[in-house]
Amino acid sequence: MTSFSANETRAVSMLATLYVVRMLGLFMVLPLISIYSADMVGATPFLLGLAVGAYGLTQATLQIPMGWLSDHIDRRWVIVFGLSLLVAGSVVAALSTSIWGVIGGRFLQGAGAIASATMALVADYTRVEQRAKASAIIGGSIAIAFGLALVLGPTFANFGGLQAVFAATGVLALAGMGVVALLPKPQRFQRAHREEGAGFNRSRLSDVLSIKSLNTMYLSIFFLHFLLMAVFVVVPSSLETQANISREHHAWVYLAALVLAVPGIYWLIQGRRYMNTPTRTLLTCLGVLLVGLISLAIGGPPATLFGLLLFFTGFTALEAMLPSLASIYAPADSRGTAMGVFASSQFSGVFFGGVLGGALLETSGVIGVWLGLSVLALGWVFLLSVSRLASPISFEAT
């Protein structure tokens, strides 16, 4: 297997860093909003769920336009603009004293929809034979950001509440702009390509929606983030009420679960060689996640902690795999558009998971949330079972 060139190593490392600092800020609030915002003016279970998932709506709406735009202008400018909106939304949320202010800030945070442009930029900097490895590294960086966020979020909140976490998110977004400024100019545009793409190319969107393997990735990332957001509508309060763990110690719980999950994550990603058997490995990861959901639903300290361990294992492995597979299945000249659809699917899951999780909590209680999520996860198992995903190896020469 060939190695990265010096330029590829630099670019992939910097983009992985960008992903970590950006996603770290967005993930840090997940274990916090449902408990730290509960006493805010106007707070209800439904609105707390909306606050958790609000940024997903604007992310989902803008990913395809931003991905398309990045196919026609320097992707770095698209990313800087998106990061500036993340800063603005963080400031609004940090200064808010009502749940509606937090929701508005989260909507504005989500308007910085740069995931599709960033994933497409990874491909711009790497050779075809290195893209699977580069995409896997980026996917892994998202998983790392998720793990760090679950520990750092509660830690920051112990010192300054939710406002300190939103302030840290804004600072991290500014740091991300610094990373973008250091990136070299990608050599991907040809004059004919620029002229051909002067307007919106509907055929590109049609093309990336007609590929069966890509459609499976779109639905899978939707389900994954739906489950994540809905889980964090109930888990923080469950740790307090069922496991009798005070919020000041939640960071240690998440840290322990994540550390113990590392061997399982490694086995799922490396030991199963998922690039050769993607369907089997995705189903294995999903099975681990589903058992975690069942354990969380049972409740009680041992079951809750064991459920977190399994849920984090399955989620983190899938979070690393799915972007890599999607970027490989995507056509080279429409990768920005394809990753825009992928990111839109992801953040649609974020929004609907938060909103419907909050709605179920308000109308049916905690049990209703767990039952709803279990049904959704079983539907995802069925989808993967009937899907025949193409081997990514066959795409490397295209």
Q: Report how far residue 390's alpha carbon sits from residue 392's, in angstroms, rounded to the nearest whole number.
A: 6
Please name which of 308, 321, 320 lies closest in space to residue 255, comparing C-alpha atoms.
308
What mean pLDDT is predicted for residues 336-340? Answer: 73
pLDDT at 195: 36
pLDDT at 132: 66
Let me know how many helices (H) and strands (E) the chain has, helices first.
14, 0
Residue 186 has pLDDT above 60, yes or no: yes
Residue 223 has pLDDT above 90, yes or no: yes
Write the single-letter amino acid at 67: G
Q: Which residue has the higher pLDDT, 385 or 333?
A: 385
Which tens digit of pLDDT belongs to each residue from 65-123?
Answer: 887 787 777 788 888 999 999 999 999 999 988 899 999 999 998 888 887 788 778 77
Residue 240 has pLDDT above 90, yes or no: no
Question: Taking the model in full, what pTM does it have?
Answer: 0.79
Element housing 102 (H / E) = helix 99-110
What mean pLDDT is predicted for residues 202-216? Answer: 76
DSSP state of 398: -
pLDDT at 189: 45
Q: Which residue has the higher pLDDT, 234 or 188?
A: 234
Q: Which residues contact 246 (CB under 8 A, 6 or more apart)?
A: 240
What mean pLDDT is predicted for residues 234-241? Answer: 83
Phi and psi torsions of 98, nearest 5° = -120, 160
In the chain, domain spans = 11-180+208-393
pLDDT at 90: 92
Residue 187 has pLDDT above 70, yes or no: no
pLDDT at 271: 57
User: Is it true that domain 11-180+208-393 has CATH number 3.30.200.20?
Assistant: no
pLDDT at 210: 74
DSSP state of 209: T
Residue 226 has pLDDT above 90, yes or no: yes
Q: Which residue has the higher pLDDT, 184 or 129?
A: 184
pLDDT at 55: 83
Model confidence at 199, pLDDT cuts 50, 70, 90, reads very low
Please spell the DSSP secondary structure of 188-205, one letter per residue: ---HHHHHHTSS--HHHH
Q: Report how far residue 66's alpha carbon sits from residue 238's, in angstroms, rounded to the nearest whole number.
A: 38
Residue 230 has pLDDT above 80, yes or no: yes
Model confidence at 182, pLDDT cuts 50, 70, 90, reads confident
* Residue burial 377-395, b: 16+ Cβ < 10 Å; e: rest: beebeebbeebebbebeeb
pLDDT at 267: 83
pLDDT at 270: 74
Model confidence at 232, pLDDT cuts 50, 70, 90, reads confident
pLDDT at 198: 37
pLDDT at 24: 83
Residue 273 has pLDDT above 60, yes or no: no
Model confidence at 276, pLDDT cuts 50, 70, 90, reads low
pLDDT at 288: 92
pLDDT at 191: 34
Which tens digit of pLDDT belongs to each residue from 134-172?
Answer: 777 776 777 788 788 888 888 888 888 888 999 999 999
Residue 250 has pLDDT above 60, yes or no: yes
Model confidence at 197, pLDDT cuts 50, 70, 90, reads very low
pLDDT at 122: 79
pLDDT at 397: 41
